[in-house]
Amino acid sequence: MKKLSIRNIEPAGKRVLMRVDFNVPLDDDGNITDDSRIKGAIPSIEHLTNAGGRVILMSHLGRPKGEKNPAFSLKPAADRLGELISAKVKFVDDCVGPDAAAAVADLQNGEVILLENVRFYAGETDNDAEFSKQLAAHGDIYVNDAFGTAHRAHASTAGVTDYIDTCAMGFLIEKELEFLVTKLEEPQRPFVVIMGGAKVSDKIKILERLMEKADAFIIGGAMANTFRLAQGYQIGMSLAEPDATDLALEILETAKKNNTEFLLPADTRHTKEFADDAPTEVTLPWGEGGEIPADREGIDIGDLACKEFAAKIAEAGTIIWNGPMGVFEKRGFDIGTKAVGAAIAANENAIKIVGGGDSVTAANQFGFGEKMDHMSTGGGASLELLEGKELPGIAALDDA
């Protein structure tokens, strides 16, 4: 999947239409509460402006459902970007039409303009040809650096490429492909995949695809409950997928046939009360009387599991972490996720990849983010890439 990179284009004096992901969280007063997505786009933006490009940014924010809604305006993002970079940043309150066209025409070399929310038009999510053509009219070159939306065939991520000759990836997407594709083609051994979250069915495609490459799987979160239920154990009131027990048994059988180590939690932390700092207990090891009582709920991996998982992680040469070990958002239910994150961070010899979503949130929350080699910026996009799917927003770019 070798695509044309932003490194290999000549933007001087050109209008560079760039798709970014400025879908930032806002408080009730319209203030940005986390600007990490804006900061993530800055290397690509500054690369273009420093080379004399005229940068036209487009993004979505929220779900305005094809209607103009001030609550979803990108103006706060434009203001914040202007505070973070030295280049002049302008904002126009439309993404197509005469006002947008005039603002783009007025742009000078090294300047930046952010167009208003592309999802104010239904043509964006419909990948409408006419809307795509109107967006494309703003640019001589197209750059996509919004990995989080690359799995969607929308006008600003795919449709515009039909009307612009040069279409390249930015630094964010380049890094995502490097770690989620290239480095996994021939991973450093042992290759350990850590998976958590709620549902086996949500992760089955990744499990199936990586089963061919991984040396070991570590399973936590509510996913583990489904495997234990499939094995005939009592899991109390724990979240699980009773309809996926046959699937769980098939996965265990496949791992056995492939000689792939498949580690389920040796014990489980459980509680009667789903609340911060609620009293918890840890089961005996599974298979040694370690079932969860009928009136209690498993909410994290146990102490023995933490130790066993950490030991396996310490041996790894490549690590992918996708999904927490428990309900880490609540105090007292976060022990397993912290332990796994700390073990990954402590392995200085491994390539450490965090596969988006809650795992990234947990790594940042517990202070392990800087120790990771790559933290994916896309939830659904990173999952689909790990599943081996073709992402429309990447497939549409020029081949290298």
DSSP states of 81-92 as a string? HHHH-SS-EEEE
Q: Quick check: 360 and 375 in contact, CB under 8 A?
A: yes
CB atoms within 10 A of CB 292: 22
Residues ≥6 apart with Cβ < 8 Å to 349: 317
Backbone angles phi, psi at 129, to 5 degrees: -65, -45
CA angle 121-173-400, nearest 5°?
Answer: 105
Report the Cα 347 to chain-centroid distance in Å: 22
Specify which residues 91 forms β-bridges with: 114
Contact 159, 131 (CB under 8 A): yes
**CB-facing half-sphere around the CA of 209: CA atoms within 13 A:** 15
* Cα angle value 149/208/392 (rounded, 5°): 25
Alpha carbon distance 237, 339 (integer Å): 24
Q: CA 62, CA 74: separation in Å to the nearest integer?
A: 10
Radius of gyration of the chain (CA): 23
Residue type, 172: L
The strand pair at 166-169 and 141-144 is best described as parallel
DSSP string, 151-182: TS--TTTTGGGGS-SEEEE-HHHHHHHIIIII
Active site residues: 37, 199, 357, 380
List the one residue out of 356, 365, 380 whose CA is nearest residue 330: 365
Strands 54-58 and 216-219: unpaired
13 neighbors 176 (Cβ within 8 angstroms) = no
Strand partners, 375: 354
